[in-house]
Amino acid sequence: YFCRKVKGGNIDVHPSEKALIVQYEVEATILGEMGDPMLGERKECQKIIRLKSLNANTDITSLARKVVEECKLIHPSKLNEVEQLLYYLQNRRDSLSGKEKKEKSSKPKDPPPFEGMEIDEVANINDMDEYIELLYEDIPDKVRGSALILQLARNPDNLEELLLNVALYLLLNLAEDTRTELKMRNKNIVHMLVKALDRDNFELLILVVSFLKKLSIFMENKNDMVEMDIVEKLVKMIPCEHEDLLNITLRLLLNLSFDTGLRNKMVQVGLLPKLTALLGNENYKQIAMCVLYHISMDDRFKSMFAYTDCIPQLMKMLFECSDERIDLELISFCINLAANKRNVQLICEGNGLKMLMKRALKLKDPLLMKMIRNISQHDGPTKNLFIDYVGDLAAQISSDEEEEFVIECLGTLANLTIPDLDWELVLKEYKLVPFLKDKLKPGAAEDDLVLEVVIMIGTVSMDDSCAALLAKSGIIPALIELLNEAPAYLIDLMHDKNNEIRKVCDNTLDIIAEYDEEWAKKIQSEKFRWHNSQWLEMVESRQMDESEQYLYGDDRIEPYIHEGDILERPDLFYNADGLIASEGAISPDFFNEFHLQNGDVVGQHSFPGR
């Protein structure tokens, strides 16, 4: 900690001017963690209070009171002393006798303090190196440099920033040890650093932002930054003249952009157009694109890119890439933007789609084709642009091509729900039916490819002639076989962490249960297990405890509860007369008249009191 104390001293009159000289003492001390002084320095200083308005008619009492009020270095108790000194200055002779003047003129006049050092130019601590260089030039430049350095030295804030710079460098080096960094975090280092962002010293700001960037990789520190509204402070630095400061600020924003709430804040404070403007600068293009990519992950913000100059710049970058694979960050960003209809209209302006398609087919790039696939999913005029490329896409559907590329081409074709398209001609000319049928065989392809095949079949089946063609090919039994495998997979997904996936699976399983009695029983049993998992665990643990007494006896040990099915224990259930008779198993029909509500079984059957 840094402690600064100012102690007032004596007051005297200026020997030659109408002014008071206030002597004071400045004591600076660096304190340790426990508050004990570690390093201190004391310096004698003086302040000159010039009284230009002082004349024979001045009200000395009022002037003395004004001087004491405005000068914090003079204690109010010294009001009378100030009044006496002012009275002395008022009555002091302004001119010397003729003899004294003559003697005085024979000697060179001592210049008053700082005479000739006052200039109109305002000094900046960031330009200190330039001022030092001036000291090696001719006399006028030396005088100018000295005056500017003096101006900086008179401002105590400059000394404070230099001290902060040194202190933060020390802390940054100490923070290499994670245990020490944790101690700093407990001392609210993040709050102190964020407050320091309000300063103007570039060197200090670079150090502060670098420190924050290092701390931002930990969630606790990031949460502290959120509390201090760090994004509002950082947005002021973009853009800025200092390249190093701008670069490190963008990297800190990249770390923060992994947080959804902070991405939202970045958009709110107007960072989107500022980052877009940096895409044209080679020094910042890559890091700015990464931050923009994170922002584009949120569907709420995708449409906002249409109102900036972002998409034309990205298209230019795409077409200027070499014949090798496109930069991963660039194409990923474009894929996200292509998921928005308004953005797609800008992408397809002119020959945009034509050039994208030509490049994708030439490089066989699956990511570029994924972008084209996203473009094809939007209804409207853009979808009709794909009619010219149906043949090119269909020609890529082959087992000889890379599977990832084929998946994207197939997905693009499956999106083309265009009424005027002759799908029967496409299927026959490019012999797609055997390919589609072959990929539906169990184990013949990965799930991603099988999914696209099914979607493609659904698209072409809207054409009656295509539907008949597919029916004759024997593809329907393969689709039915997929349906037979689906319920088991859906039951597994019924417990997925994603709430939307659980809803879809639950609704789908209800439909399956309506048409298949066997699956209805399995689904009902599985739902019972899921909603009553805690109760089943409790029963299982109780049965295990009761069986421990037989572990070392001679009696025959019954199978452990976990070796069988807990629902196959009829002794755990009741009927109206008591325990259900043991028949070795219990059917899920038992639960038909019960409904599950908040994990509890409720129904019209009452359990007997005990």
Tell me the HSE value of 577 on the side-chain side, using a 13 A CA sphere. Answer: 2
DSSP designation for 601: E
- List of residues 6+ apart from 551 with CB closer than 8 A: 557
516 falls within a domain: no
DSSP structure string for 8-53: EEEEEE-SSSSEEEEEEEEEEEEE-TTS-EEEEEEEEEEEEEE-TT
Question: Is position 515 within any domain?
Answer: no
**From 186-195, 338-347, 587-596, the region with the lowest mean pLDDT:** 587-596
b (16+ CB within 10 A) / e for 112-135:
eeeeeeeeeeebbbeebeebeebe
Tokens (6 digits) for 269: 């404070």
Cα–Cα nearest to 182, from 211, 209, 213, 215:
215
- Residue 205 within a domain: no
> Given 40, 75, 95, which residue is the final one in a domain?
95
CA distance 487 to 482: 10
Cα 257 from Cα 222, distance rounded (Å): 11
Specify the pLDDT at position 578. Answer: 46
Strand 574-575 and strand 578-579: pairing? Answer: antiparallel
pLDDT at 39: 65
Query: 75: helix, coil or strand?
Result: coil
Given a cut of 90, whether residue 200 has pLDDT beyond it is: no
Instruction: Give the model confidence (pLDDT) of 372-388 as tens digits.
Output: 999 999 988 888 888 88
Among 57-66, 151-160, 415-424, 564-573, name the one with the lowest average pLDDT.
564-573
pLDDT digits (tens, 9 = 90+) for 62-78: 888 888 888 888 888 88
Q: Give me the pLDDT at residue 278, please.
A: 92
Q: What is the pLDDT of residues 261-286, one digit of tens each?
A: 999 999 999 999 999 999 988 889 99
Q: Measure the CA–CA gap between 122 and 158, rounded to whole angstroms.
A: 13
Query: Could you give the percent of the chain with pLDDT greater than 90?
Result: 20
**Is residue 323 classed exposed, middle or buried when 0-12, 13-18 and 19+ CB atoms within 10 A define those classes?**
exposed
Instruction: Mark 525-544 as b/e (b = at least 16 C-beta within 10 Å).
Output: bbbbeeebeebeeeeeeebe
Residue-by-residue DSSP string for 303-345: GGGGGSSHHHHHHHHHHHS-SSPPPHHHHHHHHHHTTSHHHHH
| Domain limits for position 598 | 544-610
- For residues 561 and 546, give the distance between their C-alpha atoms in angstroms, rounded to a whole number: 11
The answer to whether the CB of 334 falls within 8 A of the CB of 359 is no
Cα angle for residues 460, 461, 467 (degrees, 5° grid): 120
Provide the pLDDT for residue 608.
43
**Is the pLDDT assigned to residue 422 strictly greater than 60?**
yes
**Strand (E) or helix (H) holding 377:** none
**Inside any domain, residue 566:** yes
Q: Check residue 212 and give its pLDDT.
A: 93
Predicted local confidence at residue 409, as pLDDT:
93
| Residue finishing a domain among 56, 71, 95 | 95
Q: Let me know: does 27 contact 42? Beta carbons within 8 Å.
A: yes
Q: What is the mean pLDDT of the segment spanning 588-604?
A: 46
Nearest CA among 299, 290, 280, 300 for reference residue 256: 290
Tokens of 290: 């990464």
In-domain check, residue 360: no
The DSSP call for residue 422 is -
Residue 65 lies in a domain: yes
Number of structural domains found in the chain: 2
The answer, as to whether pTM is greater than 0.85, is no
CA–CA separation, 168 and 203 (whole Å): 11
Which amino acid would we find at residue 532?
N
Angle at 393 between CA 392 and CA 398, to 5 degrees: 105
Read off the pLDDT of residues 305-315 as tens digits, 9 standing for 90 and up. 999 889 999 99
Question: Is residue 116 a contact partner of residue 143, using CB atoms and an 8 Å limit?
Answer: yes
**Would you mind telling me the total number of residues written for the chain in this entry?**
610
Among 68, 95, 122, the domain boundary falls at: 95
pLDDT tens readout for residues 539-566: 767 666 555 555 444 444 444 444 445 5
Please confirm whether the linkage preceding 239 is cis (ω < 30° from 0).
Answer: yes
Most confident of 54-58, 359-363, 571-575: 359-363
Closest CA to 341 of 295, 294, 380: 380
At residue 584, the pLDDT reads 44
pLDDT value at 209 more than 90: yes
384-400 residue pLDDT tens? 888 889 999 999 888 88
Residue 488 located in a structural domain = no
From 5-9, 210-214, 223-227, 341-345, the region with the lowest mean pLDDT: 5-9
Whole-number CA gyration radius for the chain:
41
What would the two tokens of residue 176 be? 């290499």
Average pLDDT for the chain = 79
Cα 338 from Cα 345, distance rounded (Å): 9
pLDDT at 437: 87
pLDDT digits (tens, 9 = 90+) for 509-528: 788 778 778 778 877 777 77
280-309: b (≥16 Cβ within 10 Å) or e: eeeebbebbbbbbbbbbeeeebbebbbebe
512 within domain boundaries: no
